[in-house]
Chains A and B, each alone.
Chain A
Amino acid sequence: MRNNNSQAVHLKKQILIKIIEAFFSDDYERNTRLIPYQMRPKGSQVPYRCCIYKERAILKDRAIAELGFSIEEHDETVLLSEYAKKALEREKPEKNPLTVLDAACKGCVPSRIYVTDLCQGCVARPCQSVCKFGAISIVDGKSVIDGTKCKNCKQCMQVCPYNAIVKITVPCEDACPVGAIAKGENGLARIDFDACISCGKCVSACPFGAVHEKSQVIDILKHIKNGEKVIALIAPSIVGQFPGNIYQLKTAIKKAGFYDVYEVAQGADVTTKNEACEFEERMKKNEPFMTTSCCAGYNQLIKKHLNEIKPFVSDTLTPMAYIGQIARKKEPNAKLVFISPCVAKRVEVEEDPNVDYLMNFEELGALFVARKIEILNCEEEKFDIESSKQGRGFGVTTGVANAVKDASKNSDCVKPTCVNGLNKDTIKQLKKWAKDGKCEEGNLVEVMCCEGGCVGGNATINSVKIASKAINEFKTKSPHINGVEICKESS
């Protein structure tokens, strides 16, 4: 289950704050090196692991990831201060946006079906008779599963009258919709980046917080500290993630050192208009259905696992791509930073010609804390162009499909349907629609990788429920898309 309010997340944010504090301190390298010792000083309690040394080792690993490096390639003899220095010196962030912290990974017992002690050794033995693979035998009066024969069909689990049979899961493997994370030879989780779609579900799923995003915070702060123009492009899902309203948030972000702030919802308005036109054209050509194309996780799924659906996917660019064009035109020399709810966008940023970096919501939050910025005390500052309620609704499930419908000239012909979260089942469904060349449920398919939409992203701060409510309230105060100014050059 996704939980963005766990102790592991709390710990991650604390380290982020400390790294940013260190960065702005008079001795960045030394203060970064001291983080594990500050958080677990001599004689302090050991809340989670076997001893204080392991606690510190894991805190160090987390800090390395937050400095933007892979733990997989990390040399244990290198000091944290050295990593801090290297982060400052690098020209570009590393590829592969995720890393597994070996020391933090529990090396969970392999996923399998297991008969627990609750087995009563009954006479009926329904588990044995239901098993089609002959995997269950009776040893010392109790059922035992032969792992070499078991096909994980779970039939035995369902028939046991004592609920004595359970499925042992490995949370990261279980959460990954594409089988890209699995135990390596040493029993610890490993990500196969050829298969990984960077959806971030493993980050949210691991109860040990062992899967980490590689942060670009230092890269971004370096430009800010150098006095360069750095512009924040805030995703529509940011509404509800921080106290105060979005206009106060704009001021807060500028106080944190950014030169200016753009709403990505403005780009979403361009996406909406273009996608509505594209949809009409496709329907004129009697195409069976069209899927949206704004979700970065979905786009990587198409590229790596679901090529067959490509002909049905909209060619319209993402809101981030459009706002990137708009901002780049206005500020040719600025560094553009996408403020993101999820890790998947890191890959999109890497490929985008205009957007330079990504800072996620957790990282922005840590920046506010480290810089002691009280958002509720900030003045409101409006945006040059007020985005529409349709564009501002992109971050919540059904928001994109309904926006396209609202912007269509023949909105009665638009029959939206939503894939609310990618998992093994919904991917199967998408595969089927692509193979059959038809979708019974509608002709405009919105695909969101995260359940609930972008508000369910791995790096969000608030719960899906509260955040969705905040976005819906903000939408009611925003103008209709037919009344807002759309940047023509981006069409």
Chain B
Amino acid sequence: MEKIQVEICLGTTCFVMGSSHLQELIELIPKRYNNKVEVSGKPCLGLCSQDCEYSQAPYVKVNNEVVSQATVEKVLKVIEGIIGNNEK
């Protein structure tokens, strides 16, 4: 099965608006999901500049789903959802 890809935006806007805290996921995810999920910090994903929406930052991409105002809990929930679907 293909690995779930988690990309944390570490561009300036996302970092300042809270993705600094999401770096926690870089340690947490491999521990929790072994090799089902791959996580990485990325330079600006360009999502904030589309319509100047820094109010919705920080952004995380899980596969191709964009998670806005992302928190550790929110991202984990999306991952759980995908894993749940895959196992059905």
Contacts and interface: CB of A to CB of B under 8 A. Distances in A.
Interface of A: 5, 10, 13-14, 17, 39, 240-243, 252, 362, 365-366, 368-369, 372-377, 461-463, 465-466
How many B residues touch the partner, as a band? 10 to 19
B46 to A, nearest CB: 10
Given A17-B54, A374-B43, A376-B44, A368 B21 contact: no
A242 B44 contact: no
B23 A466 contact: yes
B67 interface: no
Contacts of A461: 15-16, 20
Contacts of A375: 12, 15
Given A14-B54, A369-B54, A376 B20 contact: no
B42 to A, nearest CB: 9
B19 to A, nearest CB: 9
A63 to B, nearest CB: 15
A13 B21 contact: no
A463 B21 contact: yes
Contacts of A365: 12, 15-16
B17 A13 contact: yes
A93 to B, nearest CB: 23
Contacts of B24: 463, 465-466
B40 interface: no
B20 A369 contact: no
Nearest to A470: B23
Contact of B16 (A13, A372, A376): A13
A39 B54 CA distance: 12
B11 A243 contact: yes
B54 A5 contact: no
Interface of B: 10-13, 15-18, 20-21, 23-24, 43-44, 49, 54-55, 69, 71
B15 A243 contact: yes
26 contacts: A5-B18, A5-B20, A10-B17, A10-B18, A39-B55, A240-B20, A242-B15, A243-B12, A252-B12, A366-B16, A368-B12, A369-B12, A369-B16, A369-B17, A374-B11, A374-B12, A374-B43, A376-B10, A376-B12, A376-B43, A376-B44, A463-B21, A465-B24, A466-B21, A466-B23, A466-B24
Residues of A contacting B: mostly = helix
Contact of B20 (A14, A17, A39, A466): A466
Nearest to B14: A243
Contacts of A5: 18, 20-21, 71
A239 to B, nearest CB: 12
Nearest to A3: B21
Contacts of B12: 242-243, 252, 365, 368-369, 373-376
Contacts of B20: 5, 240-241, 461-463, 466
A138 to B, nearest CB: 43
Contacts of A466: 20-21, 23-24
A39 B12 CA distance: 21
Given A465-B24, A466-B20, 8 more contacts: A5-B71, A14-B54, A39-B55, A242-B16, A372-B49, A462-B21, A463-B21, A466-B23
Nearest to B15: A243
Contacts of A242: 12, 15-16
The 7 closest A-B pairs by CB, nearest first: A365-B16, A462-B20, A376-B43, A243-B15, A243-B10, A5-B21, A368-B12
A5 B15 CA distance: 11
A465 B21 CA distance: 9
Contact of A368 (B16, B43, B69): B16
A14 B55 contact: yes
A102 B13 CA distance: 30
A6 to B, nearest CB: 9
A19 B43 CA distance: 26
